[in-house]
Amino acid sequence: MLLSTSIAAMRQPVSAGTTRPRAWRLEQLERLEQAIAARRDAVLNALASDLGKPPVEAYFELVAVQQEIQLVRSRLRRWMAPRAVGLPVFMQPGWAEVIREPLGCVLVIGPWNYPFLLSLQPLVSALAAGNTVVLKPSEHAPATSALIGELLEAAFPASTVQVVQGDGPVAQALLQERFDHIFFTGGERVGRLVMEAAARHLTPVTLELGGKSPAVVLGDADLEVSARRLVWGKCLNAGQTCIAPDYLLVDEAVQAPLVQRLSQRIEHCFGSEPLASPDLGSLVNQAQFERLHNLLEGARHRGQVLFGGASDADQRRIAPTLIRVDSLDDPLMQEELFGPLLPVLSVSGLDEAIERINQRPKPLALYLFSKQRAAQEQILQRTSSGGVCFNDVVMQVGVPELPFGGVGNSGMGSYHGEAGFRTFSHERSVMRRPFRLDVPFRYPPYAGKLPLVRRLLG
């Protein structure tokens, strides 16, 4: 048995209305917050064990979950409030509104790259919306996955939150169950399998995927600032970030000076021997290391490595590496890299950059470094992506009330803040009417207006 409590039993408190009051939802958030606070050091240790995360990077995962809880707590009353809708004259007197109600029992499948944050952040939204949750953390981050299980099992009864551990076949077995929503974070290949399984029960899905997110650097950009921000965003979590800049499209007039500044910045951050740096994370497993190492060796053989290139199989580490790429057909341009390799392509200007971007599937994030407001508007008008950030990278995900999600191959649906609350809620239409028009109608906003309404109706 995968589940100690059946999906039907987990759905029952939602159907009975137990989870609808705001007080119940706030209680679940309080339970989660206290459980996280009590295991803070254990979380940092687990992330270091699974991904070699430096303390600052690991602490970010903790802070982001706590920030989400605080935001939801402060906004929950407003998000839960019914929204009044005006009626056409021929339907008056009457009253219409939209209420947000829980979906039921939902499934959250977490990823391995930010295994704590990206498992618990959607959990926060699901509980705030009044649902019960089955959570499947990633088996590729075993220490963090085990800790999440211990933490949530101590904080919640199984009728509210259950954690299921296991690999791909376990996830496939879970997907045979009829959930009321499935929230998946991961790669495009598995996302297709999730969507296919969900279709059998007509279960709605949110897919947070990824893709090759481009960064465009135009000739008027501040190269020093651009290099600093690009290196930080690309090397965060050893490049294993779904919205990291996956490749650069650089105005040919500034390619050489930008590469020089990028190289200097990498050395400034990680030293002359980056594989020994305490600030460089590890790749999650040997399979990921081998995949990236093979791409790196191919680029080295073709004479494309501009800077970096060192690797250590025992530590599963690859130094941040700049690689010249001349074509979208290059092996490094075929799939999301998800590592510290950064291809650099030269373009003649913004038009060519946009053309190259539009030749690929829609990315999860798109970055432009330029002082020109007109160039920024061109990016917005002529491209499509999950999100856009100008003159920085990754930072957009840290804005609590900005929806986060993909489009096309990079995903569907969104979360964070109110977007997450809405993802795990059903917007239900409600209309009320009196039996007799000559009976005083007391529902706002039409109370006291019956004579006017009767005249309008003739």
pLDDT digits (tens, 9 = 90+) for 240-260: 999 999 999 999 999 999 999
**pLDDT given at position 114:** 97
Distances (CA, A) of 457 to 38, 432, 448, 451, 452: 64, 18, 16, 10, 9
Supply the residues annotated as catalytic: 208, 242
Check residue 435 and give its pLDDT.
Answer: 84
Strand order through the sheet with 83-85:
83-85, 95-102, 425-432
Spatial CA neighbour of 32 closest among 21, 43, 16, 45 = 43
Q: What is the pLDDT of residue 26?
A: 98
pLDDT attached to residue 111: 97
Residue 458: its pLDDT value, please? 47
Q: For residue 92, what pLDDT is reported? A: 83
What residues in the chain have per-residue pLDDT under 50? Answer: 441, 457-458
Q: What local confidence, expressed as pLDDT, does residue 2 receive?
A: 83
| H/E run at residue 69 | helix 55-80
Q: CB burial class (10 A; 0-12, 13-18, 19+) of residue 310?
A: middle
The confidence score (pLDDT) of residue 452 equals 57
